[in-house]
Structures are given as C-alpha cells and as structure tokens.
Structure 1
Amino acid sequence: MAEEYDVESVISKIINANESTWDPEEIMPLIIKEIDQRKVDVRKFIDNCDYDIEAIVAESDELRIESQDLVDEMETCKQEIEEEAMVEIIQSLDSHDKIAKELQSVNFALNIVDDVIRCSEYMKQFDEGREAQSFSRAIEAIDELMQFIETPTSGFKQLELYESTKNTAQLILDDLLHDLNEEWEKMISFSMDLQNHKTIITMNIILDESENCKDVLVALDNTQNLVGKISAFARILKEDVLTPILKHDCSIYSATDETATITINYKPNFTPPYNVVIANMKLLFQFINNKFNIKYSENKTLMKIFGQLINADFCEMMINDCLVNTIPNNINDLQCYDKVTSDIQDFQYFLTVINLFPEEGLTLLKYMDNIDVLFSHRSSQYFLETARSIMLKDLSITMSIGVEKIPDEQMNSENYSVDTYTEEALDTFGKTLPKSLFYFPRCMISKTARELLDLVYLIMEQAAQCSDVVCKKMYYTVRLIFELYDAVVPYSHENYLQTIPQYVALFHNNCMYLAHNLQTLGDKWLSLMDDRELDYSIGFLDLVQKLRELGYKHLTMHMQQQRKQILDNIRSSDLNCIVVKDVLGENAEAAVRQCLRQLQLLKNVWIGVFPSNVFTKLMATLVNMFVDELIHRVCTVEDISMEMATQLTEIYTLVVQKAPQLFQNTSDVETYVKSWIKLQELIFVLGGSLKDIENHWNDGTGPLAVHFNVEELRSLIKALFQNTQFRANLLSKIK
C-alpha cells in the first residue's frame, strides 16, 4: 500500500504549482485531512494483515529481557577475570622473563664453546695438511680460520684465546707464504751474466704435472698470490728478454726441457729483421708454453694467466718496435708486402694456439688499419735521411749542366689547335717572360745537386701512385728537403766554403740550379695529379728566392773575403805610405803581383765553373775594386817625386798588361771594369807632361775630363809637378 502511495502527486493536488503565491493557513487543513485519511488506511491494512503484530511485539520484549540478563552475566565474568586471572598472568610473565634470560646465558656460553671447537677443528685440519705435506690443504684451513675469526660470536673477542688464535693464525699464514715463495723461486728463476758487448740470460722453469707442483700452484691461487707471481715473471721477461729480442741481435737455445739460454749481442746501429724476431719469439714462447701449460685447477692453466697479463703489452711492443719497421719506404715494395703480412698471420695463429693471444679482439696486424699513414711517415723519414746523406757528400765531384746559348726559335704551334684568345694569351706570355727563365746556362754543378733533384722527382712519381694521404705527406717532405738543404749544406761544408773558392762557386751554382727547377716543379707535380681533388695547394715558388739568397749570401761572403785579402796586400805595402816616401820599396810591386796571382788563381778555379756571364761579372767586380784602390792610393797624395811616379807607372802598367788575361776575352776588361780607362789615364798622367795633360783635358772634353773629376785631376797635377806658371795656367783651365 505504501509503494502505491505517491506523496508528490498528493502535494501537487493540494498546492497548485501555477500559483505564484499561496497561504499556508489555507493549505494546512487540507494536509491534516490527508494525514487522517492515511491513518485510517493504515489501521485497515493492519487489521487485514496475515501477521500477528501484537504477538511479534510481545516476543520482542521477551528477547530484550534475555539479552539484558546475558549482558549482566558477562559483566560479572569480566570482574572475576580482572580480580583473579590477571594476578596469575603477571606471575607467569615474570617466570617467563627469568627463563628467557637463563636460556640466553646458556646460548651465549654455547656459542663461545662452539667457536672454540671450530677454531680447534681448523687448527686440526691445518696440522693434517702439514703432515700430508699439502700446502693447499694447510692454506685452506688457515684461510678459513682467518675468515672465521674476523666475524666471531659476541663475547669471543673478549677471551684471551681470541687474540692468541688470531696472532697464531697470522704467523702460520706468513710462514706458509714464505715457504710458498721459496717453492716458486725453485720452480722459476732467472740468472744474468753481463759481459763485454754481450748479456747471457739463463731461465729455469721446473714445472710438471706432479701432485706436489699442482699443490703449490693451488695454494698460491687460494692466497691470491699466483697472479702476482706470474705478473712479476711477465714483467722481468718483458724488460730483460722480450725488449732485447726486438732491438738487438739475440739467439735462444734450450739446453734441456727446463732451461733456456738467451744470448744478447749488442751491436751498434743494428736492428734485427722481423723474421728473425718472430723466430726467436716462437722459440721462447714454445719453451714457456711447454712448462706453463699445466692444468692445476678446473679450466685453469698458467699459460692462460700469463697470456692475459702480457698479451696487450706484447702486441704493442711487437708493432711499435718491430712490425712497423717492416713497412717499406717505396710503393713497389709496398705492393709486395703480402709476404710480410702472411708471416705475421702465421705468428698470430701460433700465439693463439698456445693461448698467449685470445681468439678474437687482439691482432698484430692492427697497424695495417693505418698503413697509409705509417707508409707516408716511413717514406718521408727514409727520403729525408737519404736527402741528408746526399747533402753531406763531397761538393767537388762535378758535372756539366745547362745550355751554351739560349735557342732563338719559337715554339712550333702548328700542331696545336687553339682559339684566337688562347693564341693572343700565348703571344703575350712569350713577350712578357724572358726565354732565359726556361733555360739554365752552361756551368758546373755538384753531382749531389743533380742526385738530390733526382730524388725529388722519384718522390713525386711515387706520390702520384699513392693515396691522397701519402701524396700530401710526400709533398711536404719535398718542401722539407729543400728547407733541410738550407740548414745542412752550409753547416757541414762550412770550412770548405770559407777557404776554397771552387766550393763556393759550386755551392752557388747548386743553389741556382735547384731554384731554377723549383720554378716549374709545382706545375710538374700538378700535371701528375690531374684526376685528383686536392685539399691543399702545391707550389714551390716561395722556396726559389730562399735558395737563391742562400747562394748569393755565401758568394757575397767569399767575395768580401777576396776583397779583404787584396786590400790587405796593398795596404800592407809601401803603396799605403806614398805620402811619406820619395821612393817605393820592392814590396809595392810584390803586393801588386800577389794581388794579380790571387785573381789569376780565382780565374783558374772559377772559369768553366760559373756561367760565363757570372764569371765575367765577378772577376770584373774584383778587378775594378783592385784598380780603384790603386787609383785611390795616388789621387790622395799631395806630393809625388819623379822617381816614385816612374815606379808607379811601371807597377800600374804591369796591371794593365796582366788584368785583361784574367777574363775569357781580353776585351771584357774594357767593357765590365768601370775604372779600367781611368787607370790607363792615370798612367798617362804619371808619365806625361803638363802639355800632354792639357791636350787630354781638352777644355773639359778629353778623356781626362770623362774619367776624373776636377778635384782629383787638380790634386794629381799639384802632386806631380812643381809650382810653375804653366802649371798655374793649366790649373786655372781645369775648373
């Protein structure tokens, strides 16, 4: 009935939702009426219901009374428990704590006793190992004892037994380690005998498959000392045996299965061939493998440990001190390098078989990854050393080079098909550059200069066949060669360049010859690299002037030295004392003759060595300096006697007679010696009269006026002639 009653619908009937305002007093009677009606409906429902509501209510009252009785009974039990049982529980807890403390005390004592017993058992095991002469069992027992006493039961450390046991165990362990060291030294030992230029190393390895030997190895392994022992052996082997085998003449001989003798012979400038080094290494490692290949424990051998300790260092040593040196220094040998790599691969396989090298991850051929770089360095070093050895050779071994005369014919362009612009460019090029730029004049050079240039061309040809890395290195090597020439040749031949004129001439020609070829060397190099894209520029023009200046420098120094000798000869004679003497001594003519002999000697050693034009200019420079000095000696004197004038005429006439013979063509003296005519005019003045001088002056148009300035001529006339009216008239004309 309640489910069918809808309160919302009833309210909506009473109150109209559309009305915005309503009065509660009007609504309340309607609501009360509805409530009364609902009460009547409820009463009817109860009267008509099948259940006995009054009986249910009565039964509920009875249940409530019984529940209250149970609650009262439980409250009574609670009070009894709190008053009686709680006392017994507290007494039980006190008894339990006492028993627990007693049990803890018993357990504490029991644990200490157990530790003492275990220490005793370890010591008993040690004694049994020693009685059985087993290092491994003894070491194992002591090691376990040492580990056990590090974490003892609480209270055990406070016993005197703990400290005594710990100290005793440490002493026993130290003694065992000492005995193990002695056993190892008996098994593996080195002895070294140092002699003159020789060292003999004897290596003894006494290892076998016996139980005693394995027992020692296991004991060392258990104490973590085996790796250290093998590491020390590897270090000695590397420093005293492997390194000498790589660098010196060595021989290895195995007298017995347990002894090997390594003889090291110290030879200067000796490097053993790679195949000899490999053969010696095979003998040595085969001997070691025969003794170290002992399986002392599961999957453990000394050779594996030895290999792990030494393989990386040995690989680097072999590569850096031996295998890198096998890289050839020329492209032809590099193309035949397979034989070397095959030998190295065989050696690698041998090292892998004896467990010195792992099967993967380590290879002796790893240097081949940078073969181009190594080859370029090797070649560069070889070529630089070769170039330096050439530079140190004697410069006096000569050869003729160059052309006598520059050809007049033009390049025949009939075979070339060029456009108009190219033809005009070639024509302009031919008119702008002198032909002499492409020709070297006939002269003598040292064969070493040609040999050095041939070496450069060889480097260039090899570079064209190599990779870009090598090609670039070769280019810079060639540049270094010419820079090395500047540093090495003047220093190594310093004494000769200071004292021997022919050496100076040859060195000058060598510099000019190399500089001449450097002008076109860059173009020749580029012509071989047409199909390559280079990331660097190729050129040698910056070195041309440097080499020329090197030749000029030493030639100039020698010319200054020759000039000083000539001036010293003249100034040490009476020619330097004309002003205080009336007559010249014999040393004046001797000094002039000495200067002429000096110049004649230079002609003998220079003619045919220098190019003809260079020889002429050099000789003309020295002769002109010589003549200028002779003229200066006379023109600066205030008084010259008749006898001295006659002597000077004879001496200077000797110079006029001899000097032309110093040139290839006697007429060259007039062309290239600037003061030559002046000397002849001076001789004329010394032997002539005032009238002759007046005629040669010819009112400022004669030869005297051309070659002498006014002050020089006036001073010379005053020194030679007395003060007469005629002299005064002549001097008045010379203005």
Structure 2
Amino acid sequence: MASFVTEVLANSGRLEKEDLGTKISRLSRRVDELKGEVCDMINKKYDEFLPSMQSAEDLVTQVHGLVSDVDVLKSRIETEVKSDLKVAVNEFTELKQQLEKNTLILGVLKQLQEFDSAIEKYNCALTGKNYISAARHLQKAHSCLKVLKSRKGCELKLLKSLGIELTVQKQNLLYHLGEEWQQLAVWKLPPSKENSSMEMILKTELHLCTLPSNDESATVPLLASVLQAFAILGELNTKLKFFSQLLLNYILKPLVSYPSLHAQMETQQQGVILRFESIETQLEHPPPAEVFIKLRLVFELLHKHLLDVPVEDSSQSGEKGMVVLAEVLGEMIWEEISEAIIKDCLVYSIPNNSSKLVQYEEVINATEEFENALKDMNYFKGDATDLLKYAQNVNAHFASKKCQDVIVMARNLMTSEIHNTVKITPDCKITVPVLPKSEGSEKMIKKENHLSQEAPGLENNVKLSQHTFALPTCRISESVQKLMELAYQTLSEATTSSKPCSIQLFYTVRNIFHLFYDVVPTYHKENLQKLPQLSAIHHNNCMYIAHHLLTLGHQFRYHLPSPLSDGAATFVDMVPGFRRLGTESFLAQMRSQKGDLLERLSNARNFSNIEDEDNYTAAHKAIRQVIHQLSRLGKVWQDVLPVAIYCKAMGTLLNTAIVEMISKITALEDISTEDGERLYSLCRTMIEEGPLLFTPMPEETKNKKYQEEVTLYVQKWMKFKEQMIILQASLQEIVDRWADGKGPLAVEFSPSEVKNLIRALFQNTERRAAALAKIK
C-alpha cells in the first residue's frame, strides 16, 4: 500500500518536492551537528591539548561529504524545480488572459443589453410623445455604442448595424421634433421678403403654443419640452438660430426702427399670439425709453411661454451642464439687437447742445433698467454691456456729433468720381481764412522777424524761385481739391471754438485723412487697377494731399489751444503714408502694364526664323501692339502726370520692351542674312517711334527736348542701338566697336553676349574664330 502511494506521488511530482524538503532539513541538522563537533575538536586541540588528529581527519571527510550532498541538491534545484516553476507561471498567465477575455465579453454583452433596453424605452417614449425621455434614452444608447466602439479587440460586425439603427432612430426623432416645432411655434410672415415697409411689418404674427407636455419628467409646456429634446440631441442651436433671425428681422428690429409700431399680445386657450399695431406719432426716431418698453414686452412674453426652462449645454470644454434656454437665445441676438438700438435709436437721442446733457441722464437710467430686466430673465450675464456703455459715454458722443457732418461730407467727396479733374499749377494756392490773433501767434511772428533781421544775406545774393517748393503742374480730382478746402475750413472753425470742441475738430481733420487713406484705395480699387488714367490721377491726389500736410499743422498751430499749440498740431507724420499710397498704386499699374507688354512680345515667337513670313508677321504685329499700347498710355497720362514722372514712367515701360527684345535676339543661335535685315527693320521701328512717346504736355513748345533726352529715361536705349549696329555690321566693324573692351560696344554688351551674336550672324570660319578671340 505504501509503495503504491509512493508511486502515485512520484508520478505527480509531489514526492520529489517532499523529498527535497526532507533532505534539506536533514542536511541542516547534520550541518549544525558537524558545526558543534568541529568547534569541540578545535577546543580540544588548541585548549585541552588532546591528540585528536585522527578525529579531525574524520571530520574533514564528513565535511567533504556534506559539501558533495549540497552540490547535488543545488544541481537538482536548478534543473527540476525551476522548470516546474516556469510551467506554473505559464499556466497562471493563460488563466489570467482567459479571465480578462471573459470579463471583456461580459462587458460587451452588458453594453449590448443596455443599448437594446435604451432603444426599447426610446420607442415607448416616442410613441407617447414623451420627447425629453425619448431623447435621453437615445443618448443613453449612443453612449453604450460609443463604449462598445472604444473597447480594444471588440470588432463585432453587429456594431455597424447598431450604428445604422441609432442614426435612423435619431433622424426619426428629429423629424418628429421638427414637425412639433413647426406646429407649436408658428410664424405668419409678410408675403413679400421686403420687410422695410410698415404695411408689411404689420402683417407679421408669432403664435406660441402653451399646451402641457405628455412627458411625466417634464413640468414645462410641450413647446419647451421640444426645445429641451433638441438640446439633448445637440440640435438646439440650429433650430434657435433660424428662430432668432426671424425674431430679430421681423419683430425686434422693426420695433426699434419705427416709432409708430407697437407689439400687442393676445392670449388664447391653446397659446398666445404676438402681433403689431400702429399708433400715429410725429416722431422721426423713437425715444429710447419707449423702445425699451416695447422690447421688454416681447422678451417677457418669450421668457414666460418659451424660454424659462433649463437645457443641457455641452458647448463649453465638452462638459455637459445646464443652462437656461433664455441665455442660449440671448447669446444669439444680444449683440445684433444692441447694435440696432444704438444705430437706430441712441444715436439720434444724443443732444445737439450742452444745455440738454443733463436731461440725457434719463436715457442712461432707462438703458440700465432695461439691461437689469433682461439680466433677471437670464438673457445675458455679466456687467454693463456695449449698450449701457454707449449711453453713459454721452459726452464723447456729444462732441463727436458736431464733427459728424464734416466726416459725412468728406466721405461723400471720397466716394465721388475720380476722373473729374482740375489743373494744378505752381501758382495755385488755397486761401487760408483770416485767423484771430493770439498771444502765441504774435510771439512767433516777432521771433521770426527777429531771426530774419539777424540772418546774414547770401554771398552771391541769389534768391530761390518762388516755385522751388511748389507742386509741379499736374491734374488732380476736383473732389480732392474740395476735400482739402474742407480741411482748411474745419481747422479755421477750430480756432474759434471751445477747447474740447477745438481739439475734437482738429482730430476730425486728421480722421478725414485717415479715412481717405483707407476708403479711397478700397472703394475705387477696381477702377484703379483697370484704368491707367485713374491710377495716375490717384497718384497726383496723394502727392497733393501730402504736399499740403507738410505745412497744414504749422499754419494753425498757434491759433489752437494747448496741447495742440505745444507741438501736437501736426500732420507731418502722415506725409510718408500718403506718398507711399500714391506710389504703390501707380507702381501696381506700371507692373500691370509691364505684364501686358511682355505678353504681347511673347507672341513674337522669340524673333527666331524671321525669314519665314508667318514668323515675321507675328513679330511685326507684336511690335506694333507694343507701340500702340505705349501710345495709348501716353495719351491718357499726358496732361495728367507731372512732366518728370511722365517721362520716367514711359521710359521705364519702353525700356521693358527693349530689354525683352534684346534678350530674345541675343539668345538666338542662328541669324541668317535675311533674318538680320528683318530684325534690324523691327528694331528701327522701335527706334523711330519710341521717342515720339515723350510728349508730356500738348502745349509744350520744347517737346524735342524730351525726345532728344530719351537716353535719360530709357536705360538700355544705347544698348538697343548697339544691337542694331551689330545686326548689319561686318566682323571687322564689330571688332573695331569692341576696341579691346574699351569701345562703345563693350560698354553695353558683355563678351559672352557679343560672342553669341557673332556665332549666330556669321558662319564658322577662321575670320570668325579670329574675331571671337579678340572679344575678351
């Protein structure tokens, strides 16, 4: 029996483990015994001096035996016990993985069960028109599906079907909610989309249903429960956005704009109706207090029957929270309705004189009461808004109103036609009104007279011309001349006004020029880009304004109050901006014209193989088109631009065409004799007709002067002439004009360009090789 148990235990591996423990215990006891014997032997040998050599040798033998047993046991542990441990660990790992898999499957099954349960409850709620419950159950199903999709390793084909089912049910609920919304909040709008007339506005009505909801969890009317369901589904903003625009355009804004328009509320069994009525009035613009009363009626009606319910809001930071429905609508409309109140009501309530400023305190109080009422109804939160800030800032608006007419007049001038021009000559001057004498101006005049008396005369007694710093003869827009006269008149008025108004008028003039800088390039942008004449006139306009800005502040400085008289009354800082504005516009036109010239020359087929009649015709046509474009530009710029700028502009454009021709001809690899003759003919056309462009003023008696000085305006004119000479010159003539790098040809062309032309014009002979060798 004992041998059978031993055999069974041996086969299971347990016996070996027990034997190992037994042997280790026995070895431990034997080591302790041996330790005692060794200590006893040493004590006898060295303490009692007993002859114990034989017993010591026996002990050594026993120690060696024990060491051998320990080594055997250690080897067995390394080979057998560790392998058993590894097997046990693998088994435990497999069991753990299996447990995790089972746990995951159970989690998936639980989520599937919750999804199915949520869908069933949703269907029941939808059947009973419990829209809030239906929306919540649908969101619960959505959360379950989201969890299922997020599980790693969960790739059930069922998830796709569940997603489709969830989408279908959501769209079904949205359809039902949309149908309810259209029946519960009914707009009756005018037949015409034009809501600008009083007759059309009076036909507007808003019907709101006040029936209770079927949802047991909701204590609000059916209309509000529908909106709550929209909020749960994340579709509330979409529905309220359209509702808010109708509310603004057909109810709130008309109440602000029309003094005779009043809102009227009618209560019925199933709801309330908001409609308009007209009451005759002589007021052109409604007073603010009356407007606030009319608007409060509408906001209170909406708050009572529609908006006083909490809804879910997950717009901020992705975290869901509760917000009152009125706040959602308030965020959509408050900024726009505030702007309408300011623009159509508060602006016109600003008093015209300082005696009425005290009465304006009533408007400020009415505005504050209106905002506090809306805050109590949760339409918005926070401190004073732009509406109240505008009303409280009445002093600044009062000062601004005095300058409003000036700004409006200036803007009208800026948006008028540019092409109505007047001619400006150095003798033209703007008459400055007689300015009142002031202490500062008299001191300045005395100081200047004193300095002029002390200043020594010039050595050669040469005086500057009276036109030295004058604007050159050109044409500017009539509106710009009137704008500058308006600036002088406004500054003259500033010298006789009170200090606050004077400072305001001065900065209004500065604002006029800032406005010009921003409005004119934008308003006339298309014409300035398309019409070369207008870009030239705009350039002159900017230079004309900059010219006057240099001295405008100095002329009025000592007739204005402090701190303007201390140096703040200046316009010099605006001069670079206006010069840059005119220059950039004209340079943009120049770039456009350059592009047109290059595009026309691109049709010349690179001037290659000109002996072919088609190629020659194309090249000749391109040249004629270039000449025609430049001639047309000359006509529209003549008598507009100053002479120097006209010549420089035409010279730059002509130089662009010439450079393009030079580069194309120089790049040719083969030029036959007939090609050379025809190329020379084309170049001669440019040489003959190019100088005719320089006729800046029709009545100028010295036009020949500008034509003779064409080399001053066309940088590559001499190079173009040298190229023409090469086209008809012999090898020796070319070498002579090169003159070892010192001749006229070397001034205009590089050695590589001359060599390319020689190779293209002449055949490969020893004479050509010798000529090429001399071009260094």
TM-score, normalising length from structure 1? 0.49
TM-score (norm. length: structure 2): 0.47
Structure possessing the higher radius of gyration over alpha carbons? 1
